[in-house]
Every structure is written in structure tokens, then in C-alpha cells.
Amino acid sequence: MADPEYELFAIRYATRDAQRSEHFIGGDPHDGPMPMDYFMWLARGGGRAFVIDTGFNAEIAEQRRRTFLRCPVETLAAFDIDPADVGDVILTHLHYDHAGNFDRFPNARFHLQERELAYATGPYMQYPRLSHSFEVEDVCGIVRLNYARRVLFYDGDAEIAPGLTVHAAGGHSAGLQFVRVNTRRGPVVLASDVSHFYENMISERPFTTAFHVGDMLVGFDKLRAAAPDADHIVPGHDPLVMKLYPAAGPELKGVAVRLDVAPSGAAPT
């Protein structure tokens, strides 16, 4: 039986101004503006909706000096989805911009690499260089969900549902995973922070927030191996995503794009 084909969307909920030197280990010889977008993703098919990462809220945006555009969870209403009806949330990792708002999904199970929770609650968190990417209350919240038997842990690659798989990558965070989703245009790989921008992967220069640089480089290879070609890889924070893919509807222009259709131009190579 063929795997279901999912509708797949990226929801842009925040942005920030930044410089190129902030996005590459070792800086960049041609420094200049390089803004960063923040996304939550939605896969819908087979009678189910899967939320992939949960973003952050306005309070955290203010604390971290991010430009908050909209609540990503509330944006699900534009897709006729009630957060209370979402049964599955995939967390690619537990950094503040990927695991906030988890409490807005009261009936969901959360899918996470076991190593990520061990990392976020372990001895490395005594070092601000690593712990600054986490919000303590988010991490504690996931621990509470585990006590409530609402977290499903994985040790490596796994199938969440037919046509939807997670793949361990590590590097940026110890338990980082990316998601592969079967769509009408074939499998689409949501890189999340395995590659923040197209350029990180293309130039093989990892992002500056790093737990293990070697694993970050291997992660680029894992993305390529999981996708038919570069056009089927979607980076986690690149504003180009909003330019390459069509709006999910007239009312969602600038808010959400479809990833289950081909981009309007070739992905950077």
C-alpha cells in the first residue's frame, strides 16, 4: 500500500535582523545583512495533522529581541485546525524557538530524540554558551509531559506514521532531528536546524550555535541522502523559503507557504 501524501506548510511567525558573520562558524569574509526567519511546520494527510515544532511566544520574543509577527499556534485556525485536536507534535529539538508553546497542545503526544532531553537536563547546561539556546521552563515542561506519559522517545531514525519519518542528526544540539514527509511532489526534507540557511549546507559552513561541529557537517550529508535533490530540502530559518514557495492561500500571503509543490525557482546550489 502506498504511503499517504501529506499537505505540507511552513508558517512564518517571527524574524530578526542579523549579519552574515552571525550565521557561519568563523564569520564571513563578506559581512553584510542576513536576516533570519522563524518557522513552525504543518503536515496534514491520512486524516491526521502533525505539527512540527511549536515556536516561541511574544514574551520570549521581547526577551530575546526578536520581531514577533504572529502566534504560530493561533495561525493553525487558518487551516481549520484546533490545537486541542492535534494528536502529534514533533519537536526537532528543545531550543527556545522550536519548543515554546508546547502547552498550547493539551492532547498531543510529543515525539523527541531521547538524547535531546538528556542533553537539555544534563551537565552541559552549566555552560552558558550551550544553555543560552534553551528556556528552562520549556525543558521542565517536557519533563512534566514525560511524567504524564505524553512523550515518545526515539534513539535514531524512526517512522512516526506512514510517509512521515524522523532522522537523527545532532551537531547543532545533541539530539537534533530532521523530518522527511511524503508529499505529492515526493519526499520533502524539513531540515530544521540541521541547516539554518541554504548557504550553510551549500558551503558546508555550519551555523554558529554548535554542540559538535563534526556532526553538523555529517548532518548536511544526511539531508542530501534523504532527499531526491536540493529542491526537496527546506532549511529551518531561511527567508528564501517564503520567496521560493507559493502562499498557502490569498489570505496567508506572507504568513504561510506550501512546501508540497515545487519551488518557483531552483534552490540555491
Q: What residues make up the domain containing 105?
A: 7-258
How wide is the angle at C-alpha 110 spanned by C-alphas 104 and 112, nearest 5°?
130
pLDDT at 268 over 80: no
What percent of the chain has pLDDT above 70? 99
- The answer as to whether 135 is a domain residue is yes
d(CA 141, CA 266): 40
- The answer as to whether 2 is a domain residue is no
Give the pLDDT confidence score for residue 138 in this predicted structure: 98
Q: Mapping DSSP to helix (H, G, I), strand (E, B) and coil, where does residue 160 land? A: strand
Output Rg (C-alpha) for the chain, integer angstroms: 17
pLDDT tens digit sequence for 101-140 = 999 999 999 999 999 999 999 999 999 999 999 999 999 9
pLDDT tens digit sequence for 200-235 = 999 999 999 999 999 999 999 999 999 999 999 999
Counted domains in the chain:
1
Give the pLDDT confidence score for residue 188 in this predicted structure: 98
Give the pLDDT confidence score for residue 225 in this predicted structure: 98
- The answer as to whether 145 is a domain residue is yes
How wide is the angle at C-alpha 90 spanned by C-alphas 141 and 227, nearest 5°?
150
pLDDT at 267 over 80: no
What CATH number has the domain bearing residue 48?
3.60.15.10
- The answer as to whether 94 is a domain residue is yes
- The answer as to whether 265 is a domain residue is no
- The answer as to whether 266 is a domain residue is no
The DSSP secondary structure of 3-20, one letter per residue, reads PPPPEEEEEEEEEE--BG
Give the pLDDT confidence score for residue 269 in this predicted structure: 67
Give the pLDDT confidence score for residue 2 in this predicted structure: 79
- pLDDT confidence bin for 182, thresholds 50/70/90: very high
**H or E element: which one contains 52?**
strand 48-52
If phi > 0 it is left, if psi is from -120 to 50 it is alpha, else beta; for residue 123 that is alpha
Residue with the bigger pLDDT between 111 and 2: it is 111
**H or E element: which one contains 63?**
helix 58-63
Mean pLDDT of 171-196: 98
